[in-house]
Copies of this chain bind each other. A is one copy, B any other.
């Protein structure tokens, strides 16, 4: 049998024991010197110097595996996104979040482990143990709305440090960070109202994700402020559209204008369907924005429309969201519990909103 088995790496990398031998001290002393002697044990300066010299001479570098084993934590944070592969496109909305995650993790001295639905171990989407692999890390961030509840619940129940990116109230005990869509959406409506708009319609997708309901909530809240509680309950103030949004036609837009609507607000979704449809319908109807009507987008435009005129609306601080998630996770790791879960979105003036045309009563 080859005595060293699979380790082809081992070739002469010195251990503390060898440094110790060269310096004429014990391994403990080497560890003490190189580890900064945080426990304040008395060490003679000469000894320190000898150890340092020996370490340098041998080119000693600590083995991170051993270090982490002894420290009982491996300084790894997991990032789990339940998409088939890791979000491929740079334009994908997860990407900017990862930017923030990476920066904050680096700043805190953690490395990242990436998990996806397609991670190894045969852990495909259906596998009831797919989420367990994240336990390899000290804690994990979860992205996306389709993370399986039961598995996540078990992790949380076991006391595994986890943070979900995106509001996730229904899962008891799961920490999360999310953008403050309620406040941001309300703010957009207030601005429109400030410009003189009195009838505003929200175009949202037919999906009851928190991101959608929060926006509607904020929308209706602000509506109530200037038009009273009745307006907030008005069913016609909100339109649910399907994907693709075939129902948003030029005719539909014109009908709404005829009813006195002067502004449309769309929610941002992964596909950008609502905004895209609204945009197309308005253009096809030959209407001018913002002269004939105002538009606002509750979020950022899809990448392919980014070059067009910037929509009035708000920006989701995705990088900041990622950073906040990391902070919350590391707070959990060090015992502290609660950090602020909501991240504010900045209002974006844009140029798709203006005063309503004339007095159309």
Contacts and interface: CB of A to CB of B under 8 A. Distances in A.
Interface of A: 4-13, 56, 59-66, 68-69, 71-76, 84-88, 90, 93, 95-96, 98-99, 101-103, 105-124, 129, 132-136, 154-155, 158-161, 303-304, 307, 319, 335
B66 A69 contact: yes
Contacts of A85: 99, 102-103, 106
27 contacts: A7-B72, A8-B72, A8-B159, A8-B161, A10-B72, A10-B159, A12-B159, A13-B160, A63-B136, A64-B76, A64-B133, A74-B136, A84-B102, A85-B102, A85-B106, A86-B99, A86-B101, A86-B102, A88-B99, A90-B303, A106-B117, A106-B118, A106-B122, A106-B123, A108-B123, A110-B120, A111-B116
Nearest to A118: B106
B111 A120 contact: yes
A59 B129 contact: yes
Query: Which of A9, A71, A122 has the most C-beta atoms of chain B within 10 angstroms of its own C-beta?
Result: A9
- Majority-rule SS of A interface residues: loop
B129 A103 contact: no
Contacts of A122: 103, 106-107
Given A90-B90, A102-B116, A109-B124, A65 B136 contact: yes
Given A8-B159, A135-B12, A135-B13, A111 B119 contact: yes
Nearest to A93: B90
A132 B110 CA distance: 14
Contacts of A133: 61, 64, 111
A95 B106 contact: no
Contacts of A69: 63, 65-66, 69
A180 to B, nearest CB: 22
A113 B87 CA distance: 16
A10 B103 CA distance: 29
Query: Which of A6, A56, A88, A102 has the most C-beta atoms of chain B within 10 angstroms of its own C-beta?
Result: A102
Q: Which 3 A-B pairs have the closest CB atoms?
A: A7-B72, A106-B119, A12-B160
A84 B129 CA distance: 31
A11 B159 contact: yes
B98 A86 contact: yes
Contact of A72 (B6, B61, B117): B6
Given A9-B72, A106-B120, 8 more contacts: A8-B161, A12-B155, A59-B129, A63-B74, A64-B133, A86-B98, A105-B120, A111-B136
Contacts of A61: 129, 132-136, 154
A196 to B, nearest CB: 34
